[in-house]
Structure 1
Amino acid sequence: MTETGDQKGERKIVRQKLSDQVLDELRSMIHAGEFGPNDYLPSERDLMQRFGVGRPAVREALQSLHTQGLITIKHGERSRVNKLSANAVLDHADEIARLLLHSAPKNFEHLKQARRMFERGIIREAAQMATADDIRDLRDFIEAQEQKLGNPDEFVEIDIRFHARIAEITQNPIIAAASGAMLRWLMEYQHSLVHWAGNETVTLKEHRKIVDLIEAKDADAAVQEMQRHLDRSNVLYNS
């Protein structure tokens, strides 16, 4: 049970739903490591006996865990605990992000601003940390992207992978996941505006310049070039 207050400062006892109590117990067990990544949870019947509740409370709690991304539910199998990662968490937020962007168009501008700030920090780190293998991978992406001229969907897909690879140079999985998620949300919000018609060769030229500056470890110039690249791209979103 939980307590709440009214306008007079009185505290009232609110009875917590059985399913919420089961949810809290299961979540605590997962956080404590009693059930680790890829472990199966006990069967519904075992959970009913363990917690002294009926099947509806157990099923509602399991569904909540599934919705939160903590477990996977498959028909005919016991629920399994998910292996959590930054990518998994942000992938799970995709639908909420879509709703947020479509419910308030101003949020789209906020997202573009956040990405510009984020990418400036990423490119600075990349210019300081990039190895020869990193540079080789980035140039391979540019070559692959050039092969997709005339195929807008695949051109944009490689564009996303190019920027994701730059984020990976930071060796920070949270940064890499957040960067990929923000770009994915931008693309999905107005997909018809990212076909880059007539701008593909400019994009390739800018990508090559960015990689040259990363290879030269010229962090300041790389940040400036990335800013120009993103500012030009934003014109497409606003058209």
Structure 2
Amino acid sequence: MSKDHSDDRIVRRKLSDQVLERLQDLMARGELPPGAPMPSERDLMERFGVGRPAVREALQHLHTMGLITISHGERSRVNELSAGSVLSRVDDVARMLLSSEPSHLEHLKEARRMFECGMIRTAVPLATPADLDDLRQLVDRQRDAIGTADAFVSLDMDFHNRIAQITGNPILIATSQSMLRWLFQYHGVLLHWSGNEDVTIREHERLVALMQDRDADAAVEAMRAHLDRSEGLYTLPVQE
């Protein structure tokens, strides 16, 4: 019986993929730092010994990845990367994922519950008086926004994102912003807040009070109850 040697075949890589890999290496080594102009297409062609199509395809791929900005009439520049900028690049894909299958929304709500409970446990011992004052002000502003759905929901996002900021962890901050953006922006929540605003305000006030008391365990349980209660506010948009 003959042995299958298909896995041993040598696959010729596209030139553009090799150019892309070289450029990413230059960025990682600091030869192309954030804000720096990219070399011209001609310089890259000469440096790597490839044609213009391979260079242009690699540059377009870098642009799509958010690593560079291509401006017509100007030199392309290397972008400053952050956790937020990286996660924001997947917003369109997240919208498609959540819309393609209703169960994905349930998975996102479960992930958010686990994430926010862990996040507030981290934030409790780190919260300063200024942090707590900011949270109280957000609660007050949210109370004033009752009856204006867009503003109320926006302030709800601000409240949870402010807790994330207390952790000082840029990955947690960016993840919090992305999760809330996906939940609020891509689903018909605005229609489901009416009558729940006062409950939300009281729950937010309790979270701030528990953070002030440095009671991490109670804050986690209060956050879990808050998210469990509000789960029904998030529903898939009605398909036309």
| TM-score (ref. length: structure 1) | 0.92
CA RMSD after TM alignment: 1.7
Bigger mean CA deviation after superposition, 131-140 or 119-128: 119-128
- C-alpha contact (below 8 Å) 1:153/1:195 kept by paired residues: no
Q: 1:131 aligns with which of 128, 132, 140?
A: 128
Is 1:70 aligned to residue 67 of structure 2? yes
SS in 1 for 2:232: helix
2:184 corresponds to which letter in structure 1? M
Is 1:181 aligned to residue 187 of structure 2? no
In structure 1, C-alpha distance between the alignment counterparts of 2:7 and 2:199, rounded to whole Å: 66
Is 1:201 aligned to residue 167 of structure 2? no
Bigger mean CA deviation after superposition, 22-31 or 93-102: 93-102
SS in 1 for 2:85: helix
1:53-132 equivalent positions in 2, closer than 5 A? 53-132=50-129
- C-alpha contact (below 8 Å) 2:149/2:190 kept by paired residues: no
Partner of 2:20: 23
Partner of 1:32: 29
1:33 corresponds to which letter in structure 2? G
- C-alpha contact (below 8 Å) 1:167/1:175 kept by paired residues: yes
Bigger mean CA deviation after superposition, 7-16 or 69-78: 7-16
1:114-138 CA distance string (max 9 Å, x none): 1100111111122211110000110
In structure 1, C-alpha distance between the alignment counterparts of 2:7 and 2:147, rounded to whole Å: 68
Partner of 2:187: 190
Q: Using the TM superposition, give the Cα deviation of residue 32 of structure 1 relative to its aligned residue in structure 2, in angstroms.
A: 1.2
Q: 2:232 aligns with which of 228, 231, 235?
A: 235
Q: 1:221 aligns with which of 210, 218, 222?
A: 218
Q: Which runs of 5+ in 2 are unaligned?
A: none
Partner of 1:168: 165
- C-alpha contact (below 8 Å) 1:65/1:71 kept by paired residues: yes
Partner of 2:8: 11
Q: Using the TM superposition, give the Cα deviation of residue 75 of structure 1 relative to its aligned residue in structure 2, in angstroms.
A: 1.6
2:203 corresponds to which letter in structure 1? E
1:82 corresponds to which letter in structure 2? N
Count residues with an aligned counterpart.
Answer: 234
2:78 corresponds to which letter in structure 1? V
Q: Using the TM superposition, give the Cα deviation of residue 52 of structure 1 relative to its aligned residue in structure 2, in angstroms.
A: 2.2
In structure 1, C-alpha distance between the alignment counterparts of 2:129 and 2:189, rounded to whole Å: 36
Q: Using the TM superposition, give the Cα deviation of residue 238 of structure 1 relative to its aligned residue in structure 2, in angstroms.
A: 4.7
1:11-38 CA distance string (max 9 Å, x none): 1121111111111111111111110111
In structure 2, C-alpha distance between the alignment counterparts of 1:131 and 1:194, rounded to whole Å: 35
- C-alpha contact (below 8 Å) 2:117/2:224 kept by paired residues: yes
In structure 2, C-alpha distance between the alignment counterparts of 1:238 and 1:61, rounded to whole Å: 40
| TM-score (ref. length: structure 2) | 0.92
Bigger mean CA deviation after superposition, 53-62 or 209-218: 53-62
Partner of 1:142: 139
